[in-house]
Chain A
Amino acid sequence: MKNISNIYILLFLLLLTAGIQAQNTAPLIQSKLDGTVVDAITNQPIIGASVNIKGTTHGVVTDAEGKFYFQTGQKFPYTLIVSYIGYKKAEVIVEKNPVIISLKEERQELDELVVVGYGTQKRKDITGSVASVPKANLSQVTSSADNLLRGAVSGVVVTQSSGRPGASSSVRIRGGNSITAGNEPLYVVDGILIYNDNANSSAGVTYAGASVNVLSTINPADIESIEVLKDASATAIYGSRGANGVVIITTKKGTKGQDNISYQGYFGFQNISKKLRLMNASEWASLRNDVQASIGQAPSFTAEQIEAFKTSGNYDWQSAAFRTAAPVQSHNLSFSGGDERSRYSISAGYFDQEGIVLGSDFKRVSLRANYERNYSQNFKFGVNANYTYSLANGVGTAGSGRTPNPIVAAVLTAPVVPIKNADGSYNVTNNPYATSVNGYVPNPINDLENTINETNLNRILTSLFGEYKLTKKLTAKVAVSGDVLNTKQNYYAPANTTTGAGTKGLASVGDRLVGSVLNENTLNYNTNFGENHKFSALGGYTLQYTKGEVVNAGANTFVNDANTYNALQDGVAVKPYSEAYESVLKSWLARVNYSYKGKYNFTLSGRADGSSRFGAESLWGYFPSAGFSWNITDEEFANNIKGITEAKLRITAGTTGNQEIGNYLSLASMGSVNYSFGGTLYTGIAPTRLANPDLKWEKTTQYNVGLDLSLLDRKINFVFDVYYKKTNDLLISVPVPLSSGYATVLQNIGGVENKGVEIGLTTENVKTENFAWNSNIVFSANRNKVTEIGNGVNEFFPVVPNGSLLQQQPVIVKVGLPLGTFWGYRTNGIFQTQEEVNTQPKINSLANTKVGDRRYVDTNGDGVITALDKGNLGTSQPKFVGSFSNTISHNDFDLNFSFQGSYGAKIFNALNQQLEISTLGTNAASTLNDRWTPTNPSNEIPRATSSPLGIVSERYVEDASFLRLKLITLGYTLPKSVSKKLGAKSLKVYVSAENLITWTKYTGYDPEVSSYEQNNLYPGIDFGSYPNSKTFISGLNVTF
C-alpha cells in the first residue's frame, strides 16, 4: 500500500510538469476607462470586484478604493460584466470615461452556488436538503470546528461531552440511526473524507479521561464555509458513510486580484457559569452525626463543634477546583491573494485556552497552505495542506464508581477537611473520613494540580489535486490525499495522588498512529440539449486505505516523582499493550442531474462501496437515491402570486449506509487470558467471538419533502423540511444463549426510525441606508424510536461503564421507545410511620426499611417494589431544539446575538444522586439539610443513613430544557478613512460574551452535557462532566 501511494505522488508530479503553456496576447490600445464599483445602497466602494469586458478575456479587479482601470482595444460603447461575491452580477453598457457602477446585494438565494458532494450546484437546481452554516456562526470562540454547528442549522444537535478545552462533542444530524455503530456524521474537509472517531485521539492510557476532539485539529479560523447534507439525495454519493449526514468543510482560499494580509485575534477569560449548592462544614458535621446515629454509633461532633464550624474550619473544595478568569487567546495571521492564474492562502494560528478546572488547558498551533494554479486553460492543479499540533492537559478519571473524576471527588470531599496544610502544601495525610492508602488520603485538588495527563496530537491533512478539461464538456479530476494523525499521551500520578498512592506513583505513556490515504478519480460531464434541457453527470472511482497502530506502556512503584512518565525503567513495569489494524474502502460513485427549463430538476445519485470491515459474503453495498425539485414560481400560473417571490418543492428518497462498526468484527477471534501455575502467569488463548460472514453495513432509507419559499422580495426566506428515516440491518450484539459459551453475536438485525420536521427562517426585518437588522430562526423536532432489537428480545440495559451506574441500569433500549430512554422508579414521598413501613410496598432488595426512608410507586400493584415497577422516565433526546440569531448593524457598529434552546430532553443527574446519598465520609447536597428526622417529617428527602443505594428515580432524571443567550458580540469597524491612515484595508474591534445567561431548571452544572462522549446507548448522563464556562473576549480583525 505504501508503494502505491508513492507511485501516485510520482505520477502526480509528472502530470504537473506536462502541461501546455497558455498563450498571452497584448491588447491593442484604443480606449481608457477609469471606474469605481460601489454598493448600491451604502455607496461604499467594493474592493476586489472583478470587471470584465463582455466578449473578451480581458478582466481587472477593483482596488482598495473600489477603483479599476482599463486600457483596451474595445471602443465605446462596450459592455462590462461586474461581479463580486454577495452581489448580483451586473452588465453595464459603458459609453464614456469615467464610470461609476453600483452593485446590488445578492439576495437571490436560489442562485448561489452551494458545495455538495463531489462538486457544487446552484441552489436553484438542488433537489436535496443542504443547509449552509451562516457566516456569523463561523466566528465564534471555540477550540473545535464541530461546535460551529451548534444552533446554526436545523436538524443538527451538538452535545459537548464536557466544557473541557478541546474536549470531544457528539453531533447528530436528524437523530441517531444506530445502536452500536457510530452515529457521527461524515466530515469532508477540502475533499478529504474523515470520520470523527475520537477514539483516534486516545492511545489507551488508563485514567486519561475524556478524549480530545479530533476535529480540534482543524483551526476554526481557517474555515470559509460549512455545508450540512441531510437527506439521502445529498448524501447517497457518500454511500456507506452517508447515513449519519455529511458535513462539508471548505477552508479559505485566495481570491483573484488582491493580496491581503490579515490578522484575527482575541483575548478573553472564562469563569464557571454555576456552582453546585453543597453543605458547609457545620451542616455536614450535623449530617454525619445523624448517619452515625443510624448505625448505632456515637455522634462524631458535639453541638459546640457544630456551632464553631459556622465561623471557622469550613473548606470549600468545590471552589478550590476551579480557576477564576481563566485566560483564552487566539491569534491567526493569514496571507491570501491571487492573480489571473493562481490563488493562494497561507495561514498560521495559535490558540491557547486555560480550562476553568485546575490543571486543564488546550494549546494549538496550526499551519495551512492552500494553493491553486491554472497551469493552462484546461489544466488546473492545487494543494490544500494542513498541519496541526495540539496539546491538551486534562482532568483524568480516578477512583471508584462514586468518584469517576477529581471534579466529583472535590465536590464530595467533606468540608471539614483542610485543603492545604499550614505550610501551603496540599493536605494529603489528614482526612479521617477517607481511606488512607500507603499513608496518603485523597486530595482531589492535589490530584488536579499535580497529575500529568497530556494528549499531544500531530495531524497532517493534505490533499493534492489536478483537474483537466478533456473536452469543453468533460472534466477529469484526480485527487490524492493523506491524513496522518499521531497521538501521544503521557500520564503520571505522583505517589501522593489518589491514583498514584496505591502503587507509589503511576506512569503511563501511549502512542497511536493512524494514517489514511485517499485517492479519488472523477469525471464530470456538463451539457445542454437545446435551450430547455440541462444535463450533467459525475462518475468516479475512489479508494481509501487506513492503518492504525497503538502502543502503550506503564510502570509504577517509583522511588520518587522526579522523572514522572519519562523513566518507566525506574519503576516496576505493568503489562504493555500494542495493536495494529487496517481497513480498505473501495467505491464507485455516480450522479446524474437533469433540468428541464430550470423548472423541473432531477437528480439520481449513488455509490457502490466495498469495505474490508464486512463479512466475506457481503463485501459490497449499493446506495442509490433519487431527487426531484420543482421551481413553482417559474410556472406561469405562479408568476403573479403576490408576495411570493420564489417557491420550490423538493422530494427525495434514497438509501445510505453506515460502516462505522470497527475492524475485523466479521471474523472469529481468540483473546488472551492469564492463569498461574506454580506462581507464574501463563497466557491462555480463549475464543471470544464467533464469525459472522454475513456482517454488513447498516442501511438507512430516507424520504424527504421540502419547501423553499421566498416572500416579499426575499425579505423572508423560509425553508421547510419533513423527513422519515428508517434504518434497518442495524448492527446489534444480539444476545444468544449463554450456554453456547458466548453472550452475544454481532448481527444485522435491529431497526431504528427517525422522523421530524425542520424549519429555517431568515428575515430582513429592517434595511435602511445606515441601519439593518436580520434574523435567523432555526427550529427542528426529531422523533426517534427503536423498532427492532432481534432474536425476540424487546429490551436490554446497556452496560454503563461505571461501577455504581452499571448496577443501577439507568438506561434502557426498548422497542417502541427512543434511544437514550431513562428507566427507573417513581418516588412516592417518605415513610412517615412504622405502620406505613409495615403495610406499604417496599423495595424487595432493601432489608430493614425504616421510617424516614423513601417510598416508591408500586406501579404493578403487587405489594412489593421490584424491577417490574420501573418505567419510562423520559429520554435524553429533546422534543425540539431551536435558535434565534440576530445581526443588527448601524453605521460602523454591528451587534450579533443569538439564543439557543432545547425543550423536552432529560438528563440523568448522577452527580446529584451521589450528592444526595449520605455517607460517613463524603459531602452532600445542601438539599439534605431538609432531611427527614422525627422532628422534621420531610416528605421529600429521606433520613440520613450510611451509604444507601443509588436508585434511579424521576428525582434524578431532570428536565434539561434550557434557553441560553449563547453569544452576544458588539463590533465596531473603523471608517475606511481612519483605517487607511493606519495602513489597513479594514479594521474591526469587538467584544463578545458567550453563555452569558442560561435559563434552565436543571440543577447540575450545565444542561448540555453527556459524560459518555459519543456513545449512542447512554447519552445524557451527567456524572461530573466538566462544567461549561462563561467566556468574555475582546478581539481585533485587521486586513492590510
Chain B
Amino acid sequence: MKKTIITFLLSAGLLVSCTDLEVTPASFVTEDNYFITQDDAVASVTAVYASLSLDPGEQSLFGRNLYFLTDMGSDYAAAGVSATNPQVRALSSLTHDATSDRVQVAWRQIYAGINRANVAIDNIPKVSGSEAIKTRLINEAKFIRGLLYFQAVRLWGGVPIVLHEATSINLGNLKTNRATVDEVYAQIIKDLTDAEALPKTYTTADAGRATSGAAKAILAKVYLTRKDWPNAIAKSREVIDGGFGYALFEDFQDIFTKTKKNGKEHIFSVQFEPNQAGNGSSGSTFQATSFTGFTATEPADIISDVALFYDIYATGDKRRDVSYAKQLLNPTTGTLYTFPKPIFKKYLDLTNLATPANVAINFPVIRYADILLSLAEAINEQGGPTPEAYELINQVRRRAFGKPITTPDPTVDLVALDQTSFRNAIQEERKKEFVQEGQRWFDLVRWGTLVTEVKKVTAKNSVSERNNLYPIPQSERNINPDGLPQNPGY
C-alpha cells in the first residue's frame, strides 16, 4: 500500500512537471507568425489605411476626430447643444488648452497610423512574394505616412519624426524630440515623391488605394502650403494633365453620393463602408452628430453663424443645399421638417437615417476641385490672375451652379480681378466649396487670416495668434518635457 501511494505521488509529480509554463496564444497574431507571406504584407498595409477610418472606442481620425481641429476650430463650424464633451466645446470657442482630449486623440491617431506605416515599411521587404507588389505596398504605406505627417506638421508645427517601428518598451527608445518644420516637410516630400511611383489606377476591386495622382495632388498641396508656387503649379498641372482622367462631377451632390464613390473627381478619399468599424458601425460618426432626428434639439456639429456662412450662397449655388439642410423630408410622416438652424448635410445618407453610425459616405481627402483651386491660387500668388487661373476657378463655379463645366458662362464666371480680389475670390470659393471637408482651418492658417476671420463669429472671439497651431498634448510633454517644447500661447 505504502509503495502504491509513493509511486502515485512520484508519478503525479513527474506528470505535472512536464506541463510547460509557456503558453501560445490561440486567438491573436504575434510577431513570430507574421510578415512571412505577401498576404501578411497586404494586411499590414490595409491596417495602415484603417488608421484613417477606425479607432475602436474613439471617433476615427477622418470619421470626425480631425474635424474638431480642422473645422470646429475654424470659423464656420461650432459645437451645438448636443456636444456634451467640454473639450469639444472648448475647441469650438478656441479656449482649449494643452490638456484637450481631442487634440491628444488626433495626435495619437496620427502617430498610430505612422507607426503602422513604419511597421509595414520595415517588414515588407522580408516577406516572400512579388517584388513589384511589395514595392507598391511600401509606397502606399509611404503615401499614408506622408499624408499623416502633412496633417501633423500643419496642426502642430515641427513634430517628432518617427520612421521605424518601436522594438522595446524602454522609455528612451520610445521618446522622440520635436524636429523642425523644414525637416518634417523634407520627410513628407520624400515619402510622397516615392509614392508618385504608385499605379495611376487600380482594378475596381482595389478602388480607394493611393495612386500616383493622389501622391502628386498631396504634393501640390504641400508646395502650396509652403508657398513654393512653382512646384505647386508644376505638381498641380501634373495631376491635371497627367492622364489620370480626373474631372469634376457635373452634379455637386455626387461627391457625397454612396454610389459615386471613388469617382472621377475623387483623387483620394478615406473609405467608409457599413460595418467597417465593427458590427453596425462604419467608422464615420458625422451623420449621428449632424442630425439628431426630426427634432428641434441642436446637433453636436452645427453651423456657427447662419448669416456668415449659410446666407452667403448666391441664388442657384447648389453647394448650399448639399452642404446644409434647412428642411428635410421626414420619411415617417411624409412631411418636410424645418430645423431651427440649417444642419450639416454632406455626410447624411437620406436613405439610411435609422442607423447613423453605419452610414458609409467617403471622406474626400483631396478631390479635383481642390487641385483646380490650388493651381489657381498658386498662379495668382506667383503673379496675379491669368486666363488659366480664371478658367480654373470658373470651372468650379460653373459646376456649383449646375452649368456646363467647360463652357464660359457670363452669369457665373469671374472676370477682371486684380491679384487681391482674385485671392479674395478664391478664399470665398473655398469657404463655400469645402464645408466639412477638413480644409477650412488649414486654409485660414495658410492665408494668415485665421484670427480676423474667426473673430467675426461672436462665440469664437477668444481666437488669437496662438490658434495658428494646436498645443502639443500635455500628456506627451509630461513624459518628454525637454524634447517637446510647447507651442507659443499654450
Contacts of B261 in A (CB 8 A): 679
Q: How far is the CA of A478 from the CA of B79 in the complex (A)?
A: 67
Stretch in contact with the other chain, from A79-87, A108-116, A844-852: A844-852
* A741 B166 Cβ-Cβ under 8 A: yes
Contacts of A792 in B (CB 8 A): 478-479
* B475 A4 Cβ-Cβ under 8 A: no
Closest chain A residue, CB of each to CB of B297: A920
Which residues in chain B, 57-109, are within 8 Å of chain A measured between CB atoms?
57, 81-82, 84-87, 89-90, 92-93, 95-97, 99, 101, 104, 107-108
Stretch in contact with the other chain, from A559-567, A942-950, A995-1003: A942-950
Contacts of A671 in B (CB 8 A): 28-29
Contacts of B340 in A (CB 8 A): 295-297
B249 within 8 A of A: no
Given contacts A667-B30, A866-B97, contact A741 B111 (CB under 8 A): yes
Contacts of A687 in B (CB 8 A): 115-116, 119, 165
Given contacts A581-B26, A738-B473, A867-B99, contact A686 B50 (CB under 8 A): yes
Closest chain A residue, CB of each to CB of B28: A669
Q: How far is the CA of A435 from the CA of B295 in the complex (A)?
A: 8
Closest chain A residue, CB of each to CB of B27: A579
B452 within 8 A of A: no
* A401 B16 Cβ-Cβ under 8 A: no
B277 within 8 A of A: yes
B46 within 8 A of A: yes
Partner of A739, one of B30, B93, B111: B111
Contacts of A574 in B (CB 8 A): 275, 279-280
Q: How far is the CA of A503 from the CA of B272 in the complex (A)?
A: 19
* A11 B11 Cβ-Cβ under 8 A: yes
Task: Tell me the smallest distance from the CB of A110 to a CB of chain B, in Å.
Answer: 35
Stretch in contact with the other chain, from B2-10, B317-325, B367-375, B399-407: B2-10
Contacts of A401 in B (CB 8 A): 84
* A11 B81 Cβ-Cβ under 8 A: no
The proximity string for A residues 937-970 relative to B, scoring 1 for CB distances below 8 Å and 0 otherwise, is 0000000011111110000000000000000000
Partner of B169, one of A435, A747, A804, A951: A747
* A478 B8 Cβ-Cβ under 8 A: yes
Task: Tell me the smallest distance from the CB of B148 to a CB of chain A, in Å.
Answer: 11
Q: How far is the CA of A401 from the CA of B300 in the complex (A)?
A: 14
Task: Tell me the smallest distance from the CB of B455 to a CB of chain A, in Å.
Answer: 14
Task: Tell me the smallest distance from the CB of A283 to a CB of chain B, in Å.
Answer: 21
Scoring A1, A376, A740, A919 by chain B CB atoms within 10 A of each residue's CB, the highest score goes to A740
Closest chain B residue, CB of each to CB of A468: B5
Partner of A680, one of B44, B111, B205: B205
Partner of A612, one of B22, B51, B81, B112: B22
B185 within 8 A of A: no
B53 within 8 A of A: yes
Partner of A690, one of B96, B168, B294: B168
Scoring B20, B40, B296 by chain A CB atoms within 10 A of each residue's CB, the highest score goes to B296
Partner of B9, one of A292, A521, A691: A521
Partner of B166, one of A683, A742, A946: A742
Scoring B40, B86, B278 by chain A CB atoms within 10 A of each residue's CB, the highest score goes to B86
Partner of B475, one of A470, A735, A745: A735
Closest chain A residue, CB of each to CB of B116: A686
Stretch in contact with the other chain, from B171-179, B380-388, B425-433: B171-179
B459 within 8 A of A: yes
The proximity string for B residues 44-55 relative to A, scoring 1 for CB distances below 8 Å and 0 otherwise, is 111111110110
* B207 A947 Cβ-Cβ under 8 A: no
Task: Tell me the smallest distance from the CB of A568 to a CB of chain B, in Å.
Answer: 13
* A807 B84 Cβ-Cβ under 8 A: yes
Q: How far is the CA of A612 from the CA of B22 in the complex (A)?
A: 6
Closest chain B residue, CB of each to CB of A669: B28
A529 within 8 A of B: no
Closest chain B residue, CB of each to CB of A688: B28
Q: How far is the CA of A586 from the CA of B12 in the complex (A)?
A: 13
Stretch in contact with the other chain, from A12-20, A186-194, A645-653, A1015-1023: A12-20
Task: Tell me the smallest distance from the CB of A922 to a CB of chain B, in Å.
Answer: 11
Stretch in contact with the other chain, from A51-59, A353-361, A436-444, A634-642: A436-444
* A14 B30 Cβ-Cβ under 8 A: no
* B45 A684 Cβ-Cβ under 8 A: yes
* A920 B296 Cβ-Cβ under 8 A: yes
Q: How far is the CA of A679 from the CA of B261 in the complex (A)?
A: 9
* A741 B297 Cβ-Cβ under 8 A: no
Task: Tell me the smallest distance from the CB of A389 to a CB of chain B, in Å.
Answer: 28
Closest chain A residue, CB of each to CB of B479: A737
Contacts of A747 in B (CB 8 A): 169
* B171 A684 Cβ-Cβ under 8 A: no
* B29 A677 Cβ-Cβ under 8 A: no
Task: Tell me the smallest distance from the CB of B461 to a CB of chain A, in Å.
Answer: 9
Task: Tell me the smallest distance from the CB of A913 to a CB of chain B, in Å.
Answer: 12
Which residues in chain B, 269-284, are within 8 Å of chain A measured between CB atoms?
271-273, 275-280
Contacts of A22 in B (CB 8 A): none
| Chain A: number of interface residues, binned into ranges | 35 or more
Q: How far is the CA of A521 from the CA of B13 in the complex (A)?
A: 8
Q: How far is the CA of A498 from the CA of B47 in the complex (A)?
A: 34
B293 within 8 A of A: yes
A678 within 8 A of B: yes
Task: Tell me the smallest distance from the CB of A837 to a CB of chain B, in Å.
Answer: 15
Which residues in chain A, 143-196, are within 8 Å of chain B measured between CB atoms?
none
B416 within 8 A of A: no
B192 within 8 A of A: no
Q: How far is the CA of A91 from the CA of B478 in the complex (A)?
A: 75
Contacts of B89 in A (CB 8 A): 845-847, 949
A584 within 8 A of B: yes
Which residues in chain B, 463-483, are within 8 Å of chain A measured between CB atoms?
473, 475-476, 478-480
* A678 B119 Cβ-Cβ under 8 A: no
Partner of A741, one of B30, B116, B296: B116
Task: Tell me the smallest distance from the CB of B250 to a CB of chain A, in Å.
Answer: 23
B1 within 8 A of A: yes
A596 within 8 A of B: no
Contacts of B27 in A (CB 8 A): 578-581
Contacts of B90 in A (CB 8 A): 844-845
* A807 B85 Cβ-Cβ under 8 A: yes
Contacts of B278 in A (CB 8 A): 575, 674
* B12 A478 Cβ-Cβ under 8 A: yes
Given contacts A14-B4, A741-B118, contact A921 B275 (CB under 8 A): no
Closest chain A residue, CB of each to CB of B173: A740
Task: Tell me the smallest distance from the CB of A949 to a CB of chain B, in Å.
Answer: 6
4 cross-chain pairs, A with B, having the tightest CB-CB distances, nearest first: A741-B115, A684-B46, A684-B47, A435-B293
User: 27 interchain pairs (CB within 8 A)?
Assistant: A206-B279, A296-B340, A521-B12, A580-B26, A670-B30, A673-B47, A674-B54, A676-B208, A676-B276, A677-B207, A680-B273, A681-B275, A681-B276, A682-B46, A683-B43, A685-B40, A685-B47, A738-B104, A738-B473, A740-B176, A741-B116, A741-B162, A742-B166, A745-B169, A793-B478, A807-B85, A807-B86
- Which residues in A have some Cβ–Cβ distance to B below 8 Å? 1, 4, 7-8, 11-12, 14-15, 18-20, 206, 292, 295-297, 376, 378-379, 401, 435-439, 468, 470, 476, 478, 501-503, 519, 521, 541, 543, 545, 554, 574-575, 578-584, 586, 610-612, 616, 619, 663-664, 667-671, 673-687, 690-692, 735-743, 745, 747, 791-793, 799, 803-804, 807-808, 843-848, 864, 866-867, 919-921, 945-951
- Which residues in B have some Cβ–Cβ distance to A below 8 Å? 1-2, 4-5, 8-9, 11-13, 15-17, 19-23, 25-31, 34, 40, 42-51, 53-54, 57, 81-82, 84-87, 89-90, 92-93, 95-97, 99, 101, 104, 107-108, 111-112, 114-116, 118-119, 159-160, 162, 165-166, 168-169, 171, 174-176, 202-209, 261-262, 271-273, 275-280, 292-298, 332, 340, 354-355, 459, 473, 475-476, 478-480
Known pairs A684-B50, A792-B479; list 19 more (Cβ under 8 Å): A15-B4, A18-B4, A295-B340, A468-B5, A502-B355, A503-B280, A574-B279, A574-B280, A670-B30, A674-B46, A675-B46, A680-B205, A685-B47, A736-B171, A739-B107, A740-B166, A741-B166, A793-B478, A920-B296
